[in-house]
Amino acid sequence: MKLEGNCQTTAMGILPHTDVDRALELALSVDIPFWPQLPRVNFFEDMYAQISEHFPGLTVDVENRDIHFSLEKFYVDMEALLEHWEEVTFFRLSPEYSMVFHRFLEKDLSGYSHIRGQSIGPVSYGLKILDENKKSMIYHEEVRQILFDFVAKKLQAQYSEMQEKHPGAFVWVDEPGLEMVFMAFTGYPSDKAEKDYRDFLEKFPGPKGVHLCGNPDWSFLLKLDLDVLSIDALAWGYIFSRYKEEVKDFLDRGGIISWGITPTLTEEYEKESIKSMISRLEEIWEYMGKFGIARQQILQQSWFAPARCCLVNQDGEETVEKSYELLQQVAGHFKGIL
């Protein structure tokens, strides 16, 4: 399956909504719809909780909205995991761990060229979840080996289930932790991280996509075997554009860049407009054009999305929904000149 850019709209998975129907309506309003993750509905709709189903050594504390890891429990639970290792259905998202995912698949999605799923990625997941000594579970060598393969199994199962619903389904991973692995203090060497990630992508089903809102080592990401790279261009677009050689190579290989451009934070949204968003992208692309990256190629291999997920606004979902409206207008402008 080949993905097409052509200035289509999509978005990250997390929404601040408490009304599932309203969230689904918003998720279906973009060109490439997605099933939303709604942590305010309940803790099982949180992306870290969702991936935890059947992972050895974990206890999901719904009441306190926390996930605990125990190395001792990990070894106890491994037997059950290995018994089911070859069963695709074992790794599927159950209705308990994402009611919204199943509600999404009940919709008529036939009018879309593609639909998208998502999961937290192995690096971010492994860094986030701590053991009883406050040590990230990714630092345990034996756990890390299982972790990457487990997330790949989860992606394969989700991809398989979505493909049953729509032939244009694909998934991507949300990887905020990739911003940290190249910093000295993490204790997870960058050379090890690079090898682990390349091995992980070999098991990634269908088109391969990574989303993150931070400012990682873009050179590393752009050189990976990815079909889609989703970035927060509002915050980091200028820095990203400085990796012009890597960006050019990525586009020449057929990669799609999803430009997260419309603000979802209320304070940022109030400062921006359609004109300012368009100008911001034009300036980035003009700079890249000086190094042989044709504007037409960029447009043909671009998607547009809100800049980032946002759960902190005082107005709940209002600003986020306005961001989606602005997104359609920004994308519409570029579709008109494609």
Residues 23-75 pLDDT 10s:
999 999 999 999 999 999 999 999 999 999 999 999 999 999 999 999 999 99
Q: Is the pLDDT of residue 338 over 80?
A: yes
Q: Is the pLDDT of residue 190 over 80?
A: no
For residue 183, what pLDDT is reported?
A: 61
Q: Using 50, 70 and 90 to split pLDDT, how confident is the model at 188?
A: confident
Burial of 78 (0-12, 13-18, 19+ CB in 10 A): middle
For residue 182, what pLDDT is reported?
A: 62
Q: Is the pLDDT of residue 184 over 60?
A: no
Kindly list the domain boundaries of the chain, sorted by start residue. 8-337
For residue 185, what pLDDT is reported?
A: 53
Q: Is the pLDDT of residue 22 over 70?
A: yes
Give percent of the chain above pLDDT 70.
Answer: 98
Fold for 8-337, please state it. Answer: TIM Barrel (3.20.20)
For residue 1, what pLDDT is reported?
A: 74
Q: Using 50, 70 and 90 to split pLDDT, how confident is the model at 189?
A: confident
**pTM, whole model, 2 decimals?**
0.96
